[in-house]
Structure 1
Amino acid sequence: MDQVISAIEKIRAQLAQASKESPTYEKLAYYIDKNLMRIIFMTANEVAAENNVSQGSVSRFCTSLGYRGYNDFLRNVQQYVSKEITAPQRFQYTSQNNNDHTISNILEMEHKNIDEIEALLHHPNYEKLVSLILSKEHIVLISARMSATLLPYTCYLFNKIRDDVSSVTPYLPQWDTLNLQDPQKTLFLSFAFPRYPNVLLSKMEELQKAGFQVAAITDSLISPASAVANLTLAVPVTSSSIFDIYSSPLLFINLLIRNVSKRTQGLSERLQSIERQDEIHGIYYKR
């Protein structure tokens, strides 16, 4: 949390410095500082209209802060303030800004998130995670609240390519006995996105202290999940909607499993066996 506070203070220091350059920049700096939470749901046009300045002035202001433009600045602000914003606040802000420009803004951010994933696939921690998944006998996926919606998809795909993969949330009795697993044979893979559930962070810390390998897929390297994991991969999410958008984490999970499958011995035979079982039991519709 201290890291998040210092990051927000850094943004505010940038705003203060830029405000000295012109009356227009002073107006924009004051407005953004007072509306840091609301700003992540606004387009450059909307900020410009609220301050009676041009969109170009907003873009140039963000460049003076050291960013590539308004959307680059917005993505950085999102990374910090989205941890605190509540669902009622999201609804209020998105209701106020429900227009085609806002939707275009969200789609542009999603495109940039995908670009970040491509770079993430070459990060050393990505290769470490693939190696851990291949080497551990048991994989346990853990999460809570909205982040836990990623578990069924991930668990379903993993079970197609290997045995001994399970998912556990705080609402299941297995949650209280996770530390009875063998630390030498088990990898805990956690999904932790804003707003980070304390029950998940506490369990990750407990498991890490017990000697387990805990890997975190989260939205930022300064996420609180990073402090209680042995390995962290930061996958971006877009927060400019009433709920966080998980398309980038889903894409990352699919690519991760694709990479693991390439190195899994005997996978072709396993998939053929699964297909035969599906045929026998008439799993899929046929004309």
Structure 2
Amino acid sequence: MSDTPGARLQTLFDGHRLTPTQRRIAHWMVRRAADVPFLSSVELAELAGVSQPSVTRFAVALGFDGYPALRRHLREVAPAEPGRPAGDGAAEGPPANEYQQAVHAEIENLRHLAELLADPAPVERAGALLAASRPLPVLGLRAAAAQARGFAYFAAKVHPDVRLLDEGGSMLTDRVDAAVRAGATALLCFALPRHPREVVEALEYARGAGLAVVTVADSAFAPVAGHSDVLLPAAVGTALAFDTACAPMLLGRALLEAMCDGLPDAQARLEEFDAGAAARGLFVE
């Protein structure tokens, strides 16, 4: 794991059974790892959208006497990066409007993703699992359906059998069963807020059926975490009325790249597709 403030915070939370509210606090602490050692409990509560007593209970759940003790510990293990300004990384100047603030927040999400990818091992492991699965089911419901569909579209150009699961209901477990019967060994899931209950249930079912589950989620503390063999976190933007998902999309493309490394005929398949597309005049050049 990379030695960044966010990674060190993640290590602090590992092994603790956290409530949904506590997972939300932990999620925001990781996102703002450079700032959080200097935040008061009230400021952290406002950032995470929880009550101040919830922050205190969270600190106690981690084994500290209270939030001041947790903050002292954070200043030792996750100090701010030298020369890096606090906040969302926006350049100095006139106050940003709400749209600019949303962009700056996404830039911060991408910066944090870059820090996590300093250790490529989890993505490489996930790519190998997906490349070896025949067929490869790709699950994403509701807000995550677009991410799953985009991944499946590109993956089908290099993987011989990709099966998109983007509709819930009683047929979902049937389709997981069909993939297992056909020889699937792994399932990829995109899980974004708000997390549908049937996604959690589907992952639990898939693991019970013998599939290794790789999940791209908005947080390492997402409800799907306990049902994933490899969890790859990428935060969503929350500055606008509807969440934005630049980081999960980019992480999905990185995962595609890692999967291609495990498919020896990936380049040949791409060249074959390009030749066919040119012959059919599919694209306007």
Asked whether the 8 Å contact 1:3–1:222 carries over to 2, the reply is no
Displacement of 1:155: 0.8
Q: Provide the C-alpha distance between the structure 1 equivalents of 2:25 and 2:107, rounded to a whole number of angstroms.
A: 28
User: What secondary structure does 1:163 align onto?
Assistant: coil
Where in structure 1 are there 5+ consecutive unaligned residues?
A: 12-24, 39-62, 73-98
Q: Provide the C-alpha distance between the structure 2 equivalents of 1:279 and 1:10, rounded to a whole number of angstroms.
A: 50
Q: Provide the C-alpha distance between the structure 2 equivalents of 1:191 and 1:37, rounded to a whole number of angstroms.
A: 24
Render the CA deviation track for 1:112-144: whole Å, top value 9, x for unaligned: 222222233324322210110222222111111
Aligned partner letter, 2:196:
P
Choose between structure 1 and 2: higher helix proportion.
Answer: 1
Aligned partner letter, 2:21:
I
Displacement of 1:261: 2.2
Aligned partner letter, 1:193:
L
User: What secondary structure does 1:274 align onto?
Assistant: helix
User: What secondary structure does 1:137 align onto?
Assistant: coil
Render the CA deviation track for 1:26-77: whole Å, top value 9, x for unaligned: 9x93x87578549xxxxxxxxxxxxxxxxxxxxxxxx9996857637xxxxx
Displacement of 1:252: 1.4
Asked if 1:5 is matched to 2:2, the reply is no
Q: 1:36 to 1:258 in 2, by over 3 A?
A: closer
What residue is the counterpart of 1:103 in the other structure? 99
What is the number of residues matched between the two proteins? 222
What residue is the counterpart of 1:71 in the other structure? 87
TM-score by length of 1: 0.66
Q: 1:281 to 1:174 in 2, by over 3 A?
A: farther
Q: 1:195 to 1:210 in 2, by over 3 A?
A: same
TM-score by length of 2: 0.66
Displacement of 1:170: 3.0
Aligned partner letter, 1:157:
F
Q: 2:143 aligns with which of 142, 146, 159?
A: 146
Q: Give 1:238-277 correspondences, 5 Å limit.
A: 238-277=237-276
Render the CA deviation track for 1:177-222: whole Å, top value 9, x for unaligned: 1123337633111111111001111111111122211111101111
What residue is the counterpart of 1:113 in the other structure? 109
Q: Provide the C-alpha distance between the structure 2 equivalents of 1:264 and 1:270, rounded to a whole number of angstroms.
A: 10
Asked whether the 8 Å contact 2:137–2:179 carries over to 1, the reply is no
Q: CA RMSD in A?
A: 3.3
Q: 1:250 to 1:33 in 2, by over 3 A?
A: closer
What residue is the counterpart of 1:79 in the other structure? none
Q: 1:133 to 1:170 in 2, by over 3 A?
A: same
Aligned partner letter, 1:182:
V
Q: Provide the C-alpha distance between the structure 2 equivalents of 1:10 and 1:110, rounded to a whole number of angstroms.
A: 19
Asked whether the 8 Å contact 1:217–1:235 carries over to 2, the reply is yes
Aligned partner letter, 2:19:
Q
Aligned partner letter, 2:116:
L
